[in-house]
Amino acid sequence: MYDTGVLARILDGAKLTTTTSFKEITEALAAKKQMWIDLERHSPDADKLLADVLKFHPLTIEDVWGPRGQPKIDDFDEYLYVILHGVGSKKRDKLELVEIDVVIGENWLVTHDRDGLVSDDIGTELDHSPRLLQKGVAWLAHAIIDRAVDRYLPVIDQLDKEIEQLENDVLAKAGTARGARVLKRILGFKRTLQDLRRMSIHQREILLRLSRGDFGEIPPEAIPFYRDVYDHFLRINDIAEGYRDLVTSALDAYLSVQSNRMNEVMKTLTLMSTVMLPLTFIAGVYGMNFDFMPELHHKWGYAGALGLMAMTAIGILFWFRHKGYIGGRDNRPDRPSKPSKKD
């Protein structure tokens, strides 16, 4: 059979027929049978069906075949056109959003699911039982939209685990040689969640309009089910917003931990320089080439100079410990202050 690039499921009474024949599809449309048309690929027959038979607006045809970055909804006289985005897959820190085109007519539904994200599953359910199409095309459209929204839940759960691991890595690796990878992951999460937020703002508005019954293609009895889809997506959107705050906090924590560790390094270097400075001074004094320096000809002058250096270094280290710069003095519990005589 000639491949038209269009797969149609036609309801004839209680029987569901699947066909790719252009003639059978047009005859079923003329007979006003309930049907679902899934556009599998761009072809001349598909264009002819959309433009000449279904009378789609040229802009609608352009949007159906071309990629669109943001969801949208257009209400025409003969149909309602909705563009949604589902989650295809998550590769490392990148979230793949897949466009799904849904066109709701009086007794037909046209979809274009490029990657078969939800149409394959819904089609399998219809092949087993046509009950969903018997209720009406608005119910079938609801099933497709609901399945697309449900695809977000596993990805959201995966993000939750990855962000929790990210927070642990921030504390363990920030300021070390492995910290660059952690920072790269943080920035990757920020981009992913920003893309998700940018898309969800428009999609949330579209689902809200569908749930309010603003369009005649959605019967009143189906509106509560569309409202349920909106509630699900709203909850997903709220969770994603919370993740954005967590990732932002992780970035702040990364910079703070890195700064603290850098301060510790600078503190260590400063202490070492402070200890070595008087020793360098002593060595410089006794290294001057003057004949009339009593210590130069003294039998124990060399040992005395080394002893002076050692006592100076030990004295400085004890002073640092007394002030709490080194050692465990800062970890000791504070002694209770003695009550004054006035008390």
Long-range CB pairs of 304-308 (<8 Å, 24+ gap) are 308/282
Calculate ∠ Cα 277-283-284, nearest 5°.
Answer: 85
Here the tokens at position 50 are: 């959309």
Q: What residues contact residue 164 under an 8 Å CB cut-off, 6+ apart?
A: none
- Quote the pLDDT of residue 225: 93
Integer Cα distance of 81 and 61 in angstroms: 10
Listing from the earlier edge strand, what are the strands of the sheet with 15-19?
15-19, 6-12, 35-39, 108-113, 94-104, 80-91, 72-75
Domains for the chain: give ranges and CATH numbers.
6-257 (3.30.460.20), 267-328 (1.20.58.340)
Q: Which two tokens stand for residue 267?
A: 């503190």
pLDDT at 185: 84
- The four Cα atoms 88, 40, 120, 223 give a dihedral, to 10 degrees, of 80
Q: Which two tokens stand for residue 196?
A: 């998700």
The per-residue pLDDT string of the chain (343 residues; one tens digit each, 9 = 90 and over) reads: 456 789 999 988 888 899 998 999 999 999 999 999 999 888 899 999 999 999 999 999 999 998 877 899 999 989 999 999 888 766 666 677 888 999 999 899 999 988 787 888 888 888 888 888 889 999 999 999 999 998 888 888 888 888 888 888 888 888 777 788 888 888 888 888 888 888 888 899 999 999 998 898 899 999 999 999 999 999 988 888 888 888 888 888 888 888 877 887 787 778 788 788 888 887 877 776 656 667 666 777 777 777 888 888 888 888 877 777 676 554 444 455 455 444 4
pTM beyond 0.85: the answer is no
At 110 the pLDDT is: 94
* CA within 13 Å, CB half, 152: 24
